[in-house]
Amino acid sequence: MAQLELDTAVQYVKGVGPARSEQLAQLGIRTVEDLLLYFPRRFDLRRHAQMISSIRGTEQTVTVAGEVVDVHNQKFGSRPYFQCTLDDGTGCVGVKWFHGGYLASQIKPDMCIAVSGRPSIYREVIQFINPHWADVTETPQQDLSADELLPVYPAGAKLSSMVIAKIANAVLPQTGALIPRWFDARYVAERGLMSRPAAVAAMHKPQDRRQWSEARRRLAYDECLLMQLAIALRRMKEVSRPAHPLRMTEQIDRRIRARFPFALTAAQDTVVRQIAADLGRSRPMNRLLQGDVGAGKTVVALYAALLAVANRTQAAIMAPTEILAAQHFRKIGAYLTRSKVRIALLVGGQGASERRETLESLAGGKIDIVVGTHALISEKVRFERLALVVVDEQHKFGVRQRSSIRGKGFAPHYLVMTATPIPRTLALTVFGDLDVSIIDALPPGRGKTATRLIGPDGLKGELESVRKRLAAGQQAYFIYPLVSASDNSDLTAAEEAREQLATGPLRDFRVGLIHGQMPPAKKEAVMARFRAGSIQVLAASVVVEVGLDVPAANVMVIMHAERFGLAQLHQLRGRIGRGVEDAVCILVGEPKNPIAKRRLAVLADTDDGFKIAEEDLRLRGPGEFFGTRQHGLPELKVADLIEDFELLRLGRRDAFAIVAEDPDLSAPHHQQLRREMVRAYQGGLDLLGGA
């Protein structure tokens, strides 16, 4: 066989012809390198066979191997079975497979088979019922007496794990020569890592579980490091553009604070200081502000915006929906009454001339703070001196529409705010190029929210206490998963539910309806009536999920709670308990599977958003949590972002140190890393300054 290289087509590997290479290609394996990096998904332990005479009949699982001395195929009766007797020279066992008639053509007298399973005793004879079995007629005796790790590769339609193992085995001896080293021996030793070639080999053929997990650790580290290198490079690039430095003086600080009818909390103070320090620099801030619902992020955003205005620049504040944009606009307007700060709202529902006027004022520098939806940045909105962009409630982690607004001239400072606490893992990955600030305590004087979990039958009993609260002047949300019930759905929709509530149990109260398919103006009108108290009960689809703030609304009933995601439920619940009164959240649901059960239990158990977020990520797994590959991260083959969090941190530390020392990876000892970067990230060249 010719000398193999990493990029040699897999067809030239021993045992691979055109047909096999076609099948391998379907698994994404085209080259020798692909093959070496195609790892077993897991290993099965094949236990060595025990002497039949040593079996007690009380073991959990055992393996025995012996000659088949007789067979019997019982075809008739209510429970047909296939049965045989095994003799290994020390004793005999009976083996029986119910409905095992198909085995009659496979298990014949005189062959040797191994069976493994849980033994039992029947009429003083040891027997196995429905065990796993394998033909070991050709297997040498010594192989049967040693435990063995059997690799299980992700198989293809026509390519079994065993065949893949054979093909991989053909190149494994050359791993040491083929797989390049990324680092010198010292770097690897300092971190207690295996060498990369040894790790690749051990991923396929470990001596034992410990060696396999060491190998996995090394390769997971490599993936984390590469990912963090890309993040470090991207960040380096972003902060290399100039931004307007926004100077802070004691007088400005005092004037801004005087705008708020309350003192900032200690948590808000800390965050405001971090932000002001960032804004004072002439490179753009990239900061993520996390704070549970109601923590008081809007105030922090406004503080930052006013700092921009004090420096004669403009700020844009963006919300994910028009309702929220309008709400921000109203709140900000209230804080700014009788100030000279000029603010404007820019949303889709506005008339053409009003809109044109706003756009002109923005371009001419006649507006200081503009509030709008994300359309603000996707459309051709021009600013005279934009210095700060605040993005509120960015739930869709993957969707980071940042580039368009950053395209021109000075880079604006950038503040993302999220009320969905971001698990540590994501803070280091999807948001890995942002600094993080956290508001970890709510403003004082808030009531507590009790959460109760009940079945559909329990609702009637709860409604009595809901009526009492309503009669006492409180307000309530009833949340439903769908707008209108479709034929094949058993969900009560908000529309029908409103009817039922308004004519039934809540007929003494005013019940309104809001859902996602209403035109924005209508939604806004309904919200206004709810805020004013002229609607007491709001039957709603999930549109109320984000950001709405009605302090008198202290009751939330979530129907079909099992249909909602954990983060979503947490968001929903955050709509209540915003006043001084204690609030109650009633989850009505019938969780049918353990995960749905767990979700509701977590929610009933804690209101710590970070705990909930971690749990959510754990329950859903990163793939689903992120949404369909929107997150812009490469697929990780080995690393598990949740389980390997410590490695992720280590990789991050190392990657940022490498980039700080060698920003374009031009040093000789970084050349392999550079190649790997460029390969793993198509945009890698771009990150490396186009070289």
How many Cβ atoms from other residues are within 10 Å of residue 137's Cβ? 12
Looking at beta carbons only, is 219 or 371 nearer to ligand ADP?
371
Interface characters, 547-566, with ligand ADP (x: CB under 6 A): --x-----------------
DSSP codes joined into one string, 454-514:
E-GGGHHHHHHHHHHHHHTT-EEEEE-S-SS--TT--PPPHHHHHHHHHHTTTTTS-EEEE
Q: How far is the CB of 305 from ligand ADP (least distance, A)?
A: 13
- In this structure, what token pair is assigned to residue 360? 């002109």
Looking at beta carbons only, is 268 or 313 nearer to ligand ADP?
268
Looking at beta carbons only, is 291 or 481 nearer to ligand ADP?
291
Looking at beta carbons only, is 24 or 317 nearer to Mg ion?
317
- Candidate list 423, 547, 589, 651; residue touching Mg ion; CB under 5 A: 547
In 438-468, which positions are buried (b, 16+ CB within 10 angstroms) versus exposed (e)? bbbebbeebbebebebbeeeeeeebbeebee
* Site membership for ligand ADP, residue 294 (CB under 6 A): yes
CA distances from 373 to 341, 349, 362 (A): 20, 11, 15
**Exposed, middle or buried, 651 (CB in 10 Å: 0-12/13-18/19+)?**
buried
- Binds 290: which of ligand ADP, Mg ion, none (CB < 5-8 Å by kind): none
Looking at beta carbons only, is 55 or 422 nearer to ligand ADP?
422
* Site membership for ligand ADP, residue 269 (CB under 6 A): no
Q: How far is the CB of 256 from ligand ADP (least distance, A)?
A: 13
38-42: long-range pairs with CB below 8 Å, 24+: 38/153, 38/154, 38/164, 38/168, 39/153, 39/203, 39/204, 39/219, 39/637, 39/638, 40/151, 40/152, 40/153, 40/161, 40/165, 40/203, 40/204, 41/152, 41/153, 41/154, 42/152
Q: How far is the CB of 520 from ligand ADP (least distance, A)?
A: 20
Sequence letter at residue 300: V
Measured at the CA of 638, the angle between CA 677 and CA 190, to 5 degrees, comes to 70
Q: How far is the CB of 548 from Mg ion (least distance, A)?
A: 9
Q: How far is the CB of 301 from ligand ADP (least distance, A)?
A: 8
Q: Return all residues near 653 (Cβ < 8 A) that are at least 6 apart.
A: none
Sequence letter at residue 102: Y
* Site membership for ligand ADP, residue 31 (CB under 6 A): no
Q: How far is the CB of 477 from Mg ion (least distance, A)?
A: 17
- Candidate list 8, 298, 474, 475; residue touching ligand ADP; CB under 6 A: 298
Q: How far is the CB of 227 from Mg ion (least distance, A)?
A: 31
**Exposed, middle or buried, 509 (CB in 10 Å: 0-12/13-18/19+)?**
middle
* Site membership for ligand ADP, residue 297 (CB under 6 A): yes
Interface characters, 200-239, with Mg ion (x: CB under 5 A): ----------------------------------------
- Binds 294: which of ligand ADP, Mg ion, none (CB < 5-8 Å by kind): ligand ADP
- Candidate list 291, 320, 512, 589; residue touching ligand ADP; CB under 6 A: 291
Helices (H) and strands (E) in the chain, counts: 25, 22
* Site membership for ligand ADP, residue 687 (CB under 6 A): no
Task: Tell the residue number behind the tokens 């606009």, with chain if given.
Answer: 329
Looking at beta carbons only, is 88 or 440 nearer to ligand ADP?
440
Chain residues that interact with ligand ADP, rule: CB under 6 A? 262, 264-265, 268, 291, 293-299, 419, 443, 549
